[in-house]
Chain A
Amino acid sequence: AQTVTQSQPEMSVQEAETVTLSCTYDTSESNYYLFWYKQPPSRQMILVIRQEAYKQQNATENRFSVNFQKAAKSFSLKISDSQLGDTAMYFCAFGLGAQKLVFGQGTRLTINP
């Protein structure tokens, strides 16, 4: 069975700073997908970024980028130039494609003005 661990329950940074959220996972599969979801106070689940395990290049979406270390089973999210609207819960998730997602427990990120 797959497991996802987020070791930082809460983080807080100043606006415009860079912050990195950590995620580790455990699996015996070789082809899989990793995701970061954002859950703002509205509770809507919003996909932030996605990484295919077979791709060596780290995914990037504007101010969001990941550091994917397959051998270490690590998948961290870096948010550059953080904004007040980035304040949310962030969930790391593991998927095998066309199957359920396995979520971590989340990191509550607060961006302070």
Chain B
Amino acid sequence: DSGVTQTPKHLITATGQRVTLRCSPRSGDLSVYWYQQSLDQGLQFLIQYYNGEERAKGNILERFSAQQFPDLHSELNLSSLELGDSALYFCASSEGGTLPDEQFFGPGTRLTVL
């Protein structure tokens, strides 16, 4: 158990819909990362937050947005869903300061868009 929690575990929805994925980082971790893993592919970085502020953006679609709240949990919002958005979405957290700043991964949310 990494200490990072993600809800829900599975999500099945239809094209055009909007969903919210939730992540609670490990206690004390200030940094949260979101990654997308399409079928049998490597993980692609989406976005990073540090202590409530956006720190870095990857190839995140405009239909996707995220935020980190004062209690440090984070939400990833996916809207106008398309079939190609079906993937495993991982959240990872790290202290955000001390190097090498190991990232701890949550169990992922599997999104299926029908």
Q: Which residues of A contact B (CB under 8 A)?
A: 4, 33, 42-45, 47, 50, 52, 89, 91, 95, 97-106, 108
Whether A100 pairs with B102 at a CB distance below 8 angstroms is no
Q: Which residues of B contact A (CB under 8 A)?
A: 2, 31, 33, 35, 40-45, 48, 56, 58, 88, 90, 92, 94, 96-97, 99-103, 105, 107-108, 110
Whether A52 pairs with B100 at a CB distance below 8 angstroms is yes
For residue A15, give the distance in angstroms from its CB to the closest CB of chain B.
24
Whether B48 pairs with A99 at a CB distance below 8 angstroms is yes
A-B contact pairs, 26 of them (CB 8 A): A44-B105, A50-B100, A50-B102, A89-B40, A91-B42, A95-B100, A95-B103, A97-B100, A97-B101, A98-B31, A98-B94, A98-B99, A99-B48, A100-B33, A100-B45, A100-B48, A100-B58, A101-B35, A101-B43, A101-B45, A103-B44, A105-B41, A106-B40, A106-B41, A106-B42, A108-B40
Which one, B2, B43, B99, contacts A97 given CB within 8 A? B99
In the complex, the chain B residue whose C-beta lies closest to that of A32 is B100
Instruction: Determine the chain A residues whose CB is within 8 A of the CB of B40 once the complex forms.
Output: 89, 106, 108
Complex Cα distance, B85 from A23, in Å, reads 28
In the complex, the chain A residue whose C-beta lies closest to that of B96 is A98
